[in-house]
Each structure stands twice: as C-alpha cells, then as structure tokens.
Structure 1
Amino acid sequence: MSLDATEVVVVGAGLAGLACALDLTAAGRDVLLVEAAEEVGGRMRTDVVRGFRLDRGFQVFNTSYPQVKRRLDLRALRLHPFTAGFLTAGARGSHRVVDPTRHPGRSRDLLPGRLMPLRDLAALGLLGACDAVLPAGVLKRLPETSTARALRAAGVSRRTLDTLLAPFLAGIFLEEELETSSRMFHLVWRSLVRGSLCLPRDGIGAVPRQLADRLPEGRLLLGAPVDRVTADGVALADGSVLRAGAVVVATGMARAARLLPGLPVPAGRAVTTFYHAAPAAPLREPTLVVDADRHLLNTVVLSEVVPGCSPDGRALVSTSVLGTDADEEAARTRAGELYGADTSRWRLLADYRIADALPAGPAPLALSRTTRFAPGRYVCGDHRATASVQGALASGARAAREVSADLDRARLARPAVRGGAGR
C-alpha cells in the first residue's frame, strides 16, 4: 500500500526528530514524523511499574542548555532539582562536594585540606569561572585533548582527579578513563555551573511529550516501524510505503546505520540502571551519591528528588553501573555500603540495560556535523553533535535548516514552464 506523498518524512520521534519536525513545520513544510514505538521520546521515556515512575535509565535534565530554553516551557514541566553537587563515598569515607554559592552551609568538606588541597580548589574554581563566563563558541575552539589531560593541565592533582573527579565524570560520560574530548568536557562543566540539574514531576518523558503536543494534528504516526529507506521515501514494516521528497533519519545511531548503509557512527557507551523500592529512604536528601571506589557509577534516592514518583511511601532508589552485564545483587549490596543501609528488603522493580546510552566522544571530536548523507537523505541525533539533550535538539534544528535549504535550491533549479501557444 502506498500512502499520499509528503514533502518530508522524519523517522524517529526522539528529541532530534521532534526538533526537526517542529522546525520544518514552522518553515511551512509538509512533514510527517514516523515513530516505531507507541509513544514519543526515544531514550527519554518514562514507564510506570507497579505505580512507580521509572525513567528508561537514570537521567537528569539540565536547564541551562540554549535549545532547552528556546523550545520548552520549563514551568509547565514542574521541575524538581537535585542538590547542586554530590556525595562521594567509599573506602576513605564519605564527603560532600557542593557548589558553595548555592549551598554555603553544606560546603565544609571544601575547606582546604579536608577533601583536596588548596591548589586543586583554586584550579577548579578558576576552571569553573572561565567555563561559565566564556562564550560557548570560544570553548569549542580551545585546543583539544582528553578530559583527563585537560584537568591535569589545569592544575588538578592526580589524586583529586582519580578519587573525586573521575568517579563523578564517569557517570556523565559513561567511561572511566576520561578520554572524552576536552571540548565536550568544557561545555558540560559550563552547563553544570550555569544550570540546575532537575527532573520533571512526571518523569523525563514529559520533555518529548511537551514537544510532540506542538505538532499539527495528523503529522505524527506512532507504532509504525520503518523497515528501510527507499528511492522515493520509506517502507514500513507492515508493507506500507510513505513517499517523500526528503527523508530525515533521526533514530538511535545503530538503527540509523542500518537504515542508511555506509553511515559512520561512533562507538556506543553502555550502562545498566537498577530501580529498587526500599522500605525507607537510605538518604533523606535529593543528592547523587558517587562511588569513589568505582564499583558503581552512582546511586540516588529519586523519591527524595520527585516525591510523587513513588505511589505508596516507599523510597525509589536508582543505581547505575557501567556496561550491560551488571549483577543486580552486587549493585544493590554496593549501594547499601555507600548509604550505610541494609538492602535485604529492597525489591527490584526493573533494570534497564542500554547498549548505546551515549555516543562515545574521544578527541578529536566534531561538535557539530552536517546532517546531509545523500541527495534527499539526512541524519540527525546526538551522535551527529554533542552527546546531550542540547546536542540532539541542535542536530535536529540543523537538519531542518539543511533540508529546507536543499528543497528551496531544488525548486529554484527547476526550469520555468512557459505558457501560451504560437509565440
């Protein structure tokens, strides 16, 4: 079955696809957004399991991203903030690392000599100030190396790097060696200093749902997996054909590589997140706990961040581990050690094992790449920009600009048809 032709088909209703479809629609294009799942969001989705709201893997929402500020009604998301900082726990005890400008009464561990030497404090303070003040365009043009080397060059000691910063950043980059590009690090550090890490009241899935609600009626097709990209559009798994002048593939990077053979994609970073229901909160504050000894990435009592994510007064605990082969009992036991809590009565609600949670970003890293793949064929997503919400939205916006520009050029290149006879 062949459906009516449309000007542009966008495949995948994650953040990149939604941004692309919305921008193309705003530009007056006829767009159809096609999604394999029964709801929008891609990796940013929220499930309800036994009344608990579980994001598909531990996620945070940063309010400082320019694309977020431009596109989203933050008030309507009813955001709940995390503590501006984290707790680090391990064999050397637990210490609190917070932004002293936001939590001045809880920053005793930042006194020189308690957690790190004065030189490291000064180096991190200068680094944060520069990243916060300098324009993002300047940060993108800084000399590039790995994050680990950049921090050492900034004056951070090896001990502070290994015992404090590396365990924390591993949870952001999903890799322990800090080989991620220093340019990516500076942009992330800037966003942490300038913004707030939050979660929407109704889970991270509320973010893509808000964007999808702005699409014109009938321009979103759910439950329609695309089997292949064809010469004149896309073929769906049920045999239907959607004809289109342009096709934008906005899926995850592995799926994009299958739909567009020959597309180069980066390696994926893998993570497992376990969700447990606990009789009581092992930590009565909305603070991320980082494993200084690196058995886990981090753990957090999400019901302290968003109380409504638990239906019955029990605590909802999220614990994340690198890779997809993590053992639940080992992760739960280790979380208990970090909290100093008995976990024998914790009950597993769900585990999410995500092979391509983030695209790897070692140096040298192109922070933004064209979305053009072939004539009339485009690809967007965080794997074409930075591994972040900002990167996904910005890549979708770039795809919309490039599609519109190419369609306009094609229209102008068509020969004019002269009317009238006998001339």
Structure 2
Amino acid sequence: MMQKQNYKIHIIGGGVCGLIAAKTLEDHGFSPIIVEATNFVGGRVKTDLIEGYQLDHGFQVLLTAYPAAQKFLDFKALELQNFLPGASIFKEGKENQIGDPLRDFSLLFPTVFSSLIPLKDKVKILKLNIQLKKKKITAIFEEKEKTTLQYLQDFGFSDEVITQFFKPFFSGIFLETQLETSSRMFEFVYKMFGTGNAAVPKAGIQAIPDQLKNQLKTTEILFNTKVKSVIDGQITLEDGTILESDFTIIATDSTALLSNSSKKSIKWKSCFTLYFETEKRVIAKPLIGLLPKENSLINNLFYTTSLKTARNGGKELLCVTVIDNHGLKGDELTQKVKSELKEHFNIDVLRWIKTYEIPKALPDLKEIKYTLTATESRYSEKIFLAGDTLVNGSLNAAMLSGEHVALEVIKTINGRI
C-alpha cells in the first residue's frame, strides 16, 4: 500500500485555487507539488511595490462575508482595512455620499437627504437588503438567471437609480457596463456586501495568497515552470521535461493544456487600472467614487491611502478603474483620464505612477454556479479541473473550487486503498 506522502499529486497553477487545493491535500496527509509559470503565487491576486506605494493589479477587494474566506483566511493576521458601506457619486462636479446608515451612522444624513435617489428607490433598496440577508446562498444559485439590469427593472427600481448608482457601482465589480451579468451573481455579491465588509489587507491584496502559501508545510512549489500539455499520468513542460504524476489538478485555464479538450476557450473581461499621486483627497472617507456619466472613461476611483497601508510613498495614492477605454492606450489614455479627473472630480494630479492593462481580469461566464459537481471537476481518471473560471468570478469561488477538487482526488485515492 502506497503511503500518502508518496503519491505524486501535481497542481498546475499557484493562484488562490491552487493554494487552497494544496492546503486541503496537506490537511489529509499528502504532499502535493504546485507547478507555477511565474515567480510568485496568487495569479491575478497580486500587489507591486513601486516608489513606496502598494499597487494592486486592478482594484480588488475582499468581501469578508465570503464563506470560504471565513474558513481559510486569518482576517486578524491580514490586518483588514474596511471600506465604508457606501459610495461617493459625482454629478456635475458635486459629491453626493450615499450608503447604509444602519451599518455606519455617518452616512445617515447624506443618504437620507441625497436628491440623487428618489424616496421610493430608497425604500426598495431597504427592501432588497432585508430580502437578500434572509435568502440562503444555495437558493440564490437555484434561481432562474436573467441579466442584472432586467432583475433591477423587475424589482421596480427606477431608471434614475439604476443609472446613478447600480450601473456605475456594479459595472466596476462585474467589469462590464450594461449590467448583462447574471442576476445570480448580483444577488450573491449584494448579499455579501450587505452582511459583511468590503476590505483590503493592510499590505495589499497579495497578502491573501501570501498567507495561504505560508500555511503550507509539505508542499513543493516549482516556480517559473511552464506546462505545455497534460495527459493521464504525465505532465510535459515547455522545456521538454516530463513529470510523472499520479493525479493532476489543473487550477488554471485548461483549454491549451489538454489536446482533446472539448471545452470552449474561456472568454475574459478586461480593464485598465491607473495609479496617480495627488497632494490631497477629494473624498475624505474610505468610499469608492463613482462617475455615472455616459461615454466617460472613468468608472470608479478610490484613494488607497484613505485606508491604512503597510507602505506609503508619502502623499495620496489614487486608483482609477477604466472598463471601456474607447480604444485609447498609453499616454493618450493617461491624459484623457487626467482630464476627466479634473473636469468631473476637480482632482489635480501630481503625477502618473503606473497603468495596468489587465486583459484577463474576470472570466466572462454565462452560466453562474456556486460550486462544482464531482462530474464537472473530473476530466479523466487522473486529471481534475478547478478554478473560478468554471464556477463564478470571485475569490470565494476560487477557494471553494480548490477545496472541492482536492477532496475529489482524496476520495479517489481512498477508494483504491
């Protein structure tokens, strides 16, 4: 009988999904090997340190109500910094703060007296909050899917509140401007916002995969190792090296790795994230800034320095998200964004720091699920598939998928013993 630690279990991809798969295998006595193409863990969850500032790859937050995050992460050790539950909406150069006054009293009067949202819509928002807090996650993912826009219209929200709040806010989350994302994803994300906090670790978003990596004790990680193809029992690397593998978990896009894959290539949503240094903040509180204006480049902005950070370059750091870049790139994009910052927010930029073009920011999925079934995660006798690309685009999905596929491998091994 083979000892657990002698099984060669390879995990392709050292993102959050792969790290959770490794931790789950370790917890059951196995010693897996992660094969990672880059020199870092985390995949799309990454932070750079540039000129003293922490720059996340894209504007990313952790929703503390995620069940998987509560299970796998040590929130205290991450020193999570919480956003206020609301937003600053800029219209005609004027800032309008709205939010959940039941969770933060400072947002009571700005929200109550805001003229941007009609009273009947404020009542409906309260109704939606109560309804989704009571609704179980499993029930959300059993609902018939429609677009988020259709969902909001069917709920009775006015075009005004959809245009002024829901579109700019959730466009920044879903990375698409027409709210075509599944209503299941909207309900899930809205519920997570309503029952927990949006937060970011003090050291930046990469502190999440770094913490997961540091929890691993017996896992080997092969960095800068690119995989060319995978078949049962064997992994071929790009340099021609062949790795013998009892079981292989593909925790990344598998379509290029499997020669007879019948799966269609994954479609992706993209975005640009630009970082600027400013002398002062125009939004004093840790609130996301929204620009509900047709044909504008800027979708949202946030002063990362409105929260405590492990490192700070000395002034204010402004993060700007662009979803539709109107065909602009490079200096043209930077200059146009700077112009919109001045025109709509009265923000004077001291200097541009960096632009991230993120072609694979979120998977563009049409059938949203919460978890994988055993059949969906098993490709063959020895190959298993995992990742948020198979379920829904969220950290929660990445973690749950990693745990699920590792347990399926363990179940298969136990069935042989």
TM-score with structure 1 setting the length? 0.89
Shift of 1:239: 3.0
1:389 aligns with 2:390: no
Structure 2, unaligned runs of 5 or more: none
2:269 maps to 269
For the residues of structure 1 that align with 2:347 and 2:164, how far apart are their CA atoms?
Answer: 23
1:41 maps to 42
For the residues of structure 2 that align with 1:323 and 1:146, how far apart are their CA atoms?
Answer: 19
1:126 maps to 127
Shift of 1:322: 0.8
Q: Secondary structure at the match of 1:257?
A: coil
For the residues of structure 2 that align with 1:127 and 1:218, how far apart are their CA atoms?
Answer: 44
- Bigger Rg, which one: 1
Give the superposed CA RMSD. Answer: 2.0
Letter in 1 for 2:356: Y
Q: 1:113 to 1:81 in 2, by over 3 A?
A: closer
1:87 and 1:289 in contact (8 A); partners too: yes
For the residues of structure 1 that align with 2:364 and 2:199, how far apart are their CA atoms?
Answer: 24
Which of the residues 337, 350, 353 maps onto 1:349?
A: 353
Shift of 1:241: 2.1
1:201 aligns with 2:202: yes
1:239 maps to 240
For the residues of structure 1 that align with 2:407 and 2:203, how far apart are their CA atoms?
Answer: 32
Structure 1, unaligned runs of 5 or more: 413-423
Matches within 5 A, 1:55-66: 55-66=56-67
Equivalences, count? 401
Deviations for 1:143-181, whole angstroms, at most 9, x for unmatched residues?
321111111111111221122211111000001111111
Shift of 1:101: 1.0
Identity of paired residues, percent? 27
For the residues of structure 2 that align with 1:265 and 1:141, how far apart are their CA atoms?
Answer: 25
Q: Secondary structure at the match of 2:164?
A: helix
Q: Secondary structure at the match of 1:373?
A: coil
Deviations for 1:383-413, whole angstroms, at most 9, x for unmatched residues?
111211101101111111222222333x25x
Deviations for 1:228-264, whole angstroms, at most 9, x for unmatched residues?
224422122333322111111112x3xx221124233
1:416 maps to none
Shift of 1:60: 0.8
Q: 1:6 to 1:323 in 2, by over 3 A?
A: farther
1:304 maps to 306
1:283 aligns with 2:283: yes
1:259 maps to 257
2:369 maps to 366
Shift of 1:87: 0.7
For the residues of structure 1 that align with 2:33 and 2:224, how far apart are their CA atoms?
Answer: 14
Letter in 2 for 1:204: I
For the residues of structure 1 that align with 2:388 and 2:200, how far apart are their CA atoms?
Answer: 20
Q: 1:113 to 1:322 in 2, by over 3 A?
A: closer
Matches within 5 A, 1:16-415: 16-91=17-92, 93-111=94-112, 114-217=115-218, 219-251=220-252, 253=253, 256-261=254-259, 262=261, 263-294=263-294, 295=296, 296-311=298-313, 313-323=314-324, 325-326=327-328, 327-343=333-349, 345=350, 347-362=351-366, 364-369=367-372, 370-409=376-415, 411=416
